Amino acid sequence: MKTLSTLIGAAALFGGVQLFHGGGVEGIGEEATPSNTYRLVANGDEGACAVTRGASVSDGLSLLEVAPNCHRLLPGLEQAKFWHEQNDGTVAFSANGIDPIVTFAVADGDGYESYAPALPLLSLAADGDLRRRD
């Protein structure tokens, strides 16, 4: 009888954990992974292109894939190969991992806004559904 009570208690505990964590054991301990695909927009939707943050190269430095049409937003941007995230949260795109082509600060809400160069103003926001349609 004690064995039956123990099994019922274990089943109830397991069911409660499943319900609390969204129904799947695989959900326990997992964190939401950030999107690696971003939409880069110039001056309030005057133009847009896709950028993809790739594999990490070192602490704060990742590979970057920039769509060929990004040169329309900022000449030279198509040469960017690295995403460099600083300790203060700023992000820089560069061709060599050091010298920034464009630098972004964290924006209000989600995403980033460029501050160097001052013009054109660019916004960068995660977009998991963006396809190479630009």
Is residue 53 domain-resident? yes
pLDDT for res 45:
66
pTM confidence score = 0.69
Residues 6+ apart with CB under 8 A from 56: 62
Q: Are residues 65 and 110 in the same domain?
A: yes
Q: Are residues 78 and 95 in the same domain?
A: yes
Q: Are residues 13 and 58 in the same domain?
A: no
Structurally, the chain folds into a number of domains equal to 2
Range with the poorest average pLDDT among 3-7, 79-83, 123-127: 3-7
pLDDT for res 13:
38
In angstroms, how far apart are the furthest CA atoms of the chain? Answer: 77
Q: Are residues 49 and 97 in the same domain?
A: yes
Q: Are residues 21 and 71 in the same domain?
A: no
pLDDT for res 37:
94
Is residue 24 domain-resident? yes
> Long-range CB contacts (< 8 A, 24+ apart) of 32-39?
34/126, 35/126, 35/127, 35/128, 37/126, 37/127, 37/128, 37/130, 38/111, 38/124, 38/125, 38/126, 38/127, 38/130, 39/124, 39/125, 39/127, 39/130
Q: Are residues 17 and 49 in the same domain?
A: no
pLDDT in tens, 10-50: 444 344 333 334 444 444 444 444 569 999 999 866 789 99
**Do the strands 82-85 and 91-94 form a parallel or antiparallel pair, or are they unpaired?**
antiparallel
Is residue 56 domain-resident? yes
**pLDDT at position 60 over 90:** yes
**Residues 63-70: what's their mean pLDDT?**
96
**pLDDT at position 89 over 80:** yes
Number of Cβ within a 10 Å radius of residue 66: 21
Q: Which of 62, 58, 98 is nearest to 83 (CA)?
A: 62
